[in-house]
C-alpha cells in the first residue's frame, strides 16, 4: 500500500458537526465511493481498499461522529440513528451526491442500511460487509438464543463505566475483540491505540442509544420495537460480503434477507471473520470495483 496516496481533511456539516476524513483518488473524478467504518475502528481501516480503488474513483472515508478527530457531542441523544444517518447524508451531499457506491462495515453498515432505505436517491449501489440488516437483527435478537449469546457483549458496552474499563491496562479488554488476529501488526496496534486514546465515550454511545441489543427480560423495549417494512426495505442494488467466521454476527442474520433487500447479491467467505476488511482487502476492493462497473 502506498500511504502517500492517502490525504486527510476535515468535512464541516450542518449543525456544527465536523468529520475527519481520509481520501484517495483524484478529487475531479466523477465516480465517487464513500466508506463507513465500524466499532472499535476508524476510517484508517479503509486505506488499502481506497488505494486499490483510487485509479477508478474518488474515495472518501470519514471518521464517524464520536470518533477520533470528528465532533463528539456529549449528549446521548446525539447518537440516535436519525442524527448519525443525517451525518452520512450530509457528507454525501457535501462531497457530491449521488455517490456511485456506499461501502459500510459493522456500525457503519447500520447507518448505511437506514440511509439506503430512507434516502435512496443519494447512492447508486450499496456494498455491505458483516453488518446485519435491522429487520433480521431484530428477529434474531428476539428469537435466536445463539445470536442473543453472541451479542451479549453489547450489554457490557452500554455500561456507564465501560469506557474506563476498556481503557485499563493498555485496552486489555478491547484487543480480544480481534480474536488474536494475525493481521494485527505492531503498526496497526499503534493506530488503534491512537484512536481509542482519543476517547471511547462517543463510540460506546452508539450502543447505548440503540434499542437493538439482547433483551434483558420480557418487558425489554426490544419486544415492543416495530420496524415497518416500508421503513427498512432497501431497493438499491446491494452486494453483501459476509465473513462466516464472525463470532458476534451469526449467519442466521442472512436468512430471509431478500424480503427487505430484493436486489441482493450475497458473497459468503468461509475463511474470513468479522474483520474481513483487514483480512481480505483485495476481495473487498474487487467487490466495490464490480459495483462501480
Provide mean pLDDT across the span 55-83: 97
C-alpha cell at position 57: 474513483
In eight-state DSSP terms, residue 63 is P
8 Å CB contact between 58 and 31: yes
Question: At residue 156, does pLDDT exceed 90?
Answer: yes
CA end-to-end span of the chain: 23
8 Å CB contact between 278 and 175: no
Question: At residue 179, does pLDDT exceed 90?
Answer: no
C-alpha cell at position 200: 471511547
Rounded to two decimals, what is the model's pTM?
0.97
**Catalytic (active site) residue 207:** yes
Least confident residue range of 55-64, 210-219, 247-256, 259-268 = 210-219
Range of the domain at 203: 3-292
How does pLDDT run across 165-177, given as a tens digit for each residue?
Answer: 999 999 999 999 9
**Catalytic (active site) residue 106:** yes
Provide the pLDDT confidence category of residue 245 given band limits of 50, 70 and 90: very high
Q: From CA 142, how far away is CA 7, in angstroms rounded?
A: 43
pLDDT at residue number 255: 97
Provide mean pLDDT across the span 80-106: 96
Provide mean pLDDT across the span 40-58: 97
Provide the pLDDT confidence category of residue 217 given band limits of 50, 70 and 90: confident
From 106, 133, 192, 278, active-site residue? 106
How does pLDDT run across 116-144, given as a tens digit for each residue?
Answer: 999 999 999 999 999 999 999 999 999 99
Tell the residue number behind the cell numbers 442494488, with chain if given: 237
Q: From CA 120, how far away is CA 118, in angstroms rounded?
A: 6
Q: From CA 23, how far away is CA 8, in angstroms rounded?
A: 6
pLDDT at residue number 219: 87
From 37, 133, 274, 278, active-site residue? 274
The CATH number of whichever domain residue 131 belongs to comes to: 3.40.50.1820
**Catalytic (active site) residue 67:** no
Provide mean pLDDT across the span 22-46: 97
Strands annotated E in the chain: 7-12, 18-24, 32-36, 58-62, 99-105, 123-129, 238-243, 264-269
From 67, 192, 206, 207, active-site residue? 207
Provide mean pLDDT across the span 75-98: 96
pLDDT at residue number 1: 65
8 Å CB contact between 57 and 26: no
How does pLDDT run across 270-285, given as a tens digit for each residue?
Answer: 999 999 999 999 999 9
Question: At residue 218, does pLDDT exceed 90?
Answer: no
With DSSP H G I counted as helix, E B as strand and the rest as coil, what are the percentages for the chain, rounded to 5? 45, 15, 35
8 Å CB contact between 245 and 251: no
Cβ burial, residue 132 (10 Å; 0-12/13-18/19+):
buried
8 Å CB contact between 209 and 77: yes
pLDDT at residue number 203: 98
- Average pLDDT, rounded, for the chain: 96
Sign of the torsion angle spanned by Cα atoms 106, 80, 257, 149: positive
Percent share of the chain, pLDDT over 70: 99
How does pLDDT run across 204-216, given as a tens digit for each residue?
Answer: 999 999 999 999 8
Percent share of the chain, pLDDT over 90: 93
pLDDT at residue number 241: 98
Provide mean pLDDT across the span 87-105: 95
Number of independent structural domains in the chain: 1
C-alpha cell at position 87: 451525518
Amino acid at each position: 500500500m502506498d500511504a502517500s496516496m492517502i490525504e486527510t481533511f476535515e468535512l464541516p456539516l450542518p449543525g456544527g458537526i465536523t468529520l475527519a476524513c481520509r481520501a484517495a483518488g483524484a478529487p475531479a473524478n466523477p465516480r465517487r465511493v464513500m466508506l463507513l467504518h465500524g466499532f472499535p475502528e476508524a476510517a484508517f481501516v479503509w486505506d488499502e481498499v481506497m488505494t486499490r480503488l483510487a485509479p477508478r474513483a474518488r474515495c472518501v472515508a470519514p471518521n464517524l461522529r464520536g470518533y477520533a478527530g470528528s465532533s463528539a457531542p456529549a449528549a446521548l441523544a446525539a447518537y440516535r440513528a436519525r442524527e448519525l444517518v443525517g451525518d452520512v447524508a450530509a457528507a454525501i451531499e457535501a462531497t457530491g451526491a449521488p455517490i456511485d457506491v456506499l461501502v459500510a462495515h459493522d456500525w457503519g453498515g447500520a447507518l448505511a442500511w437506514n440511509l439506503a432505505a430512507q434516502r435512496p436517491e443519494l447512492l447508486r449501489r450499496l456494498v455491505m460487509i458483516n453488518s446485519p440488516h435491522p429487520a433480521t437483527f431484530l428477529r434474531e435478537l428476539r428469537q435466536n438464543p445463539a445470536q442473543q449469546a453472541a451479542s451479549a457483549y453489547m450489554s457490557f458496552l452500554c455500561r456507564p463505566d465501560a469506557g474506563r474499563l476498556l481503557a485499563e491496562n493498555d485496552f486489555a479488554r478491547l484487543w480480544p475483540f480481534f480474536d488474536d488476529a494475525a493481521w494485527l501488526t505492531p503498526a496497526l496496534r499503534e493506530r488503534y491505540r491512537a484512536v481509542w486514546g482519543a476517547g471511547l465515550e462517543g463510540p460506546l454511545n452508539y450502543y447505548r442509544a440503540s434499542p437493538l441489543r439482547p433483551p434483558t427480560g420480557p418487558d425489554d423495549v426490544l419486544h415492543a420495537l416495530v420496524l415497518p417494512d416500508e421503513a427498512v426495505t432497501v431497493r438499491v442494488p446491494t452486494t453483501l460480503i459476509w465473513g462466516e467466521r464472525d463470532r458476534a454476527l451469526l449467519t442466521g442474520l442472512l436468512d430471509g434477507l431478500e424480503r427487505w433487500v430484493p436486489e441482493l447479491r450475497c458473497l459468503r467467505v468461509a475463511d474470513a471473520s468479522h474483520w474481513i476488511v483487514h483480512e481480505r482487502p483485495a476481495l473487498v476492493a474487487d467487490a466495490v470495483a464490480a459495483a462501480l462497473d
